[in-house]
A and B are shown apart, each in its own frame.
Chain A
């Protein structure tokens, strides 16, 4: 343990202008036998030590050199989260390339757009399905693309595209290249400069085509120092370290998971655990019981709804106990929220009793028993959900950041938590954070601010104020002079025909606290009153119908049931009760299909594309007015 601590300090000193690759190499040299990653394969969590990780990273880096990847060349990765994602990411940075991540759900057209927009030289496709998204297009559709590496060989036997290269062959090329050119990777790594672009993170593109935000080594370094190595953020001031466990399950191409997984890994050496597949996250959580856990609001909502639904299905004694426990948790949650997230003597006593009877087991079932730091970010979350988790003893700290500032903006710090806010600006950027008096827009200026959009100087210029501050596009307001509350995206603010400014996100999030509501979109710009398009949650509503004895066939059939409309009406009424009358939803319609990324209704990060929705469901919207 003492050794590991000393190692951390050393890395602090020598890593001041480090890249993620050099940080990884540092761990491989100081703690070669420490497990760095686990990947579930046929039911077994296969472990990879730092030594093995670095060996693969180095081999892959030589492989990239063998493929002629030069400084600044783009390497794109189109895969679910897995070991090779992180390894190729590190290898790319090791040879001063630029990593570009794609969402596994990206359809062919978006893959074509992204690869050509960034001018990818080498592309990694996880399997036949992902490779087909590239290969289906004509050979000259990707002028810059030289090689397509694939990980899962299944299905590739009949493919004869000369660009294809199996991962094993790629590593073999790397090994041969290392023999003939030893030390070449090291030389490249050492020559890295803080200003090097290390990755392009494509924005989700709720409006217009996605843009590739350029993040440099300096940006990444700043994020690591400000977020990850920030004692004020962590309970008891215990920084992330080698004993921590992380479950990697959100798309790694998104800045949030990249910070929370890859950058955490190289900064503090926790174990990254890769689930067998994205829909097995619940199982992975239960098995791994992570100590650090980051989730988007959607996941927190699902976990919360899961407790309510499974609780309602439990046998009578369990249901009785759980109901009592949840009532206690509600009380604890409220008390602690009033107390900035701190414990009081009374809540501690109540929690201790609840721990023995229910909370310990409940957290174990959720997979959060050993969790010592949990965070929510990337989208607004309803305070009720956070209160629930705080009530069962798990502080969920809401964070705020965006791709363009390397996720460095504000965070709820331990013991200074205010629900409904995204916390305080990190102390390090106190001077680089402001809320514009006129528009209410949050603006930042610090070392984490990105270098611009790839190949889009005009749009880059638009993103900055004249005096060089990054315009986040979010409207914020100060709470008690220290904390920041996000009102909404500037573009989303609704101005009703009565001239009233309304922020739809809050109303939508309150709607989404109902387990039966999957997605909601409030409409009312230039209208007399507010209305909403609501997508129901198939599992829970289906389950509810089953119990009520209402037969149904499909999703569409469900949305047309009078009883289901009534059920959603209750959720709408509850929401209306919490807002002023002008913010009340007068009418709503259920969307007759499940929203989908491929149909253009959601972005890859599952955010609603408002303009597309308004177009697609114009008839539904008009029927409400």
Chain B
């Protein structure tokens, strides 16, 4: 109600995504800006941050982040909303990727492939992953906490092993190089000229768009749809049931929520998101060996949730952006510092102190790409920072980046009081 944001006259009003006009306007502006970001626009490109992302150089990591968001939303639904710990997310992503490749990829003498269009292989990837999720769920539903984590961890190794077996290679290709995945392009049926393709440069409406820009725009649209689905799921009856199970499964069952059914659903939906995300990720990369769907990938997604904020869609998005783009930014900063050493002044002195450019330098960061032992290079530092962040967030801000946002928000919402 106008001027009375806390006056809810229906439950629908209370569970709305955006309750005030201001929120709606801000959301609309953000979405428009996201779509315009790749383009050279007169005024908007003067804004520093947008300019920085508008560089085509950054579109690829940003596109990767979009795909990661889809997969992370799935894990969030399972871990954050339903409270079922899972380390097997990489397995479901891989299952989706190979289901997509089986349906949409090109057949060669060594691998299967049916060359079907994206509107079949992308949902197919999700559904296959979901079906596998349903198969595994009866086991998983009976377990809790650490045991569940170990069982799902096992899935990852089983998956990699299967990919390396003879019959698995027919899906996954050579264990060293992997196989080709279908490109992101929309055709009506296999063999037909694609209506929309991200595989080459072209012209959409009034804009010249290149390959990276097209990929970004298509993925952005897909991600927005998936975000909306995830958001709606978490605020629907299903979402509330899952949250009840997370908070206390026995109590939820007493309240009339069939635990088995909803846990099964959580696994299925989570795996669907993972499958779609995995298939898109594989398409984006182009060629991947089966060993890429490993424990590290699973852990990366757990980290996304922990850093971003478990149980919330916005937290998941924040966490993904942070985890995927963070290393890139650190790399960029190092490169920038490296350039500064050539100049004079206080910045150069700091840069000299931080960086190690050759023997005799004692800075903690090495600019060399290969640097065994101390000083560590940028990539090693990334891993260190990553680990530190997870520890820091677990101890100080269990709600993650979203928690930080919440406390900033409530600081102003409670103004001029503290409670």
Which residues of A line the B interface, CB within 8 A?
A: 38, 43-47, 286-289, 310-311, 313-315, 318, 321-322, 325, 358, 361-362, 365, 369-370
B416 touches A45 (CB 8 A): no
A318 touches B7 (CB 8 A): no
> Does B206 belong to the interface (CB within 8 Å)?
no
The number of chain B residues with a CB under 8 A from chain A is 15
Which chain B residue has the least Cβ–Cβ distance from A359?
A: B416
Which chain A residue has the least Cβ–Cβ distance from B12?
A: A44
A44 touches B416 (CB 8 A): no
Shortest beta-carbon distance from B9 to chain A in Å: 5
A325-B416 CB under 8 A given contacts A44-B14, A289-B3, A370-B3: yes
Query: Which chain A residues border B370 with CB–CB below 8 Å?
Result: none
Shortest beta-carbon distance from A321 to chain B in Å: 6
A313 touches B417 (CB 8 A): yes
Query: Which chain A residues border B7 with CB–CB below 8 Å?
Result: 45, 287-289
Main secondary structure of the interface of B (DSSP, over half): loop
B4 touches A287 (CB 8 A): yes
> Does B396 belong to the interface (CB within 8 Å)?
no
A310-B419 CB under 8 A given contacts A288-B7, A289-B4, A370-B3: yes
CA distance A608 to B415 in the complex (A): 36
A313 touches B415 (CB 8 A): no
Which residues of chain B from 356 to 379 have a CB within 8 Å of any chain A CB?
none
Which chain B residue has the least Cβ–Cβ distance from A307?
A: B417
Which chain B residue has the least Cβ–Cβ distance from A38?
A: B9
Which chain B residue has the least Cβ–Cβ distance from A320?
A: B416
Query: Which chain A residues border B10 with CB–CB below 8 Å?
Result: 44
CA distance A274 to B14 in the complex (A): 18
Query: Which chain B residues border A370 with CB–CB below 8 Å?
Result: 3-4
B415 touches A310 (CB 8 A): no
A313 touches B3 (CB 8 A): no
With beta carbons under 8 angstroms apart, the residue of B4, B11, B419 that contacts A44 is B11
CA distance A362 to B414 in the complex (A): 9
Query: Which chain B residues border A46 with CB–CB below 8 Å?
Result: 9
CA distance A38 to B8 in the complex (A): 10
Q: List 9 A-B contacts (CB under 8 A).
A: A44-B9, A311-B416, A313-B418, A318-B417, A321-B416, A322-B416, A358-B415, A362-B416, A365-B414
Main secondary structure of the interface of A (DSSP, over half): helix
One digit per residue, 1 when the CB lies within 8 angstroms of any chain A CB and 0 when it does not, for chain B 157-199 equals 0000000000000000000000000000000000000000000
A43 touches B14 (CB 8 A): yes
CA distance A370 to B1 in the complex (A): 13
Shortest beta-carbon distance from B2 to chain A in Å: 10
Which residues of chain B from 386 to 419 have a CB within 8 Å of any chain A CB?
414-419
CA distance A43 to B10 in the complex (A): 9
Shortest beta-carbon distance from B396 to chain A in Å: 18
Query: Which chain A residues border B415 with CB–CB below 8 Å?
Result: 318, 358, 361
B3 touches A311 (CB 8 A): no
> Does B108 belong to the interface (CB within 8 Å)?
no
Query: Which chain B residues border A318 with CB–CB below 8 Å?
Result: 415-418
Query: Which chain A residues border B416 with CB–CB below 8 Å?
Result: 311, 314, 318, 321-322, 325, 358, 361-362, 365
Shortest beta-carbon distance from A570 to chain B in Å: 24
CA distance A289 to B1 in the complex (A): 11
Shortest beta-carbon distance from A546 to chain B in Å: 14
> Does B110 belong to the interface (CB within 8 Å)?
no
Query: Which chain A residues border B6 with CB–CB below 8 Å?
Result: 286-287
Query: Which chain B residues border A321 with CB–CB below 8 Å?
Result: 416
CA distance A369 to B2 in the complex (A): 13
Query: Which chain B residues border A289 with CB–CB below 8 Å?
Result: 3-4, 7
4 more CB-based (< 8 A) A-B contacts, given A45-B9, A313-B418: A43-B14, A287-B4, A313-B419, A361-B416
A288-B418 CB under 8 A given contacts A44-B10, A45-B9: no
Query: Which chain A residues border B419 with CB–CB below 8 Å?
Result: 310, 313
CA distance A618 to B19 in the complex (A): 58
CA distance A321 to B416 in the complex (A): 8
CA distance A365 to B415 in the complex (A): 8
With most chain A CB atoms within 10 A of its CB, the pick from B9, B10, B14 is: B9
Query: Which chain A residues border B14 with CB–CB below 8 Å?
Result: 43-44
Which residues of chain B from 77 to 110 have a CB within 8 Å of any chain A CB?
none
Query: Which chain B residues border A322 with CB–CB below 8 Å?
Result: 416-417
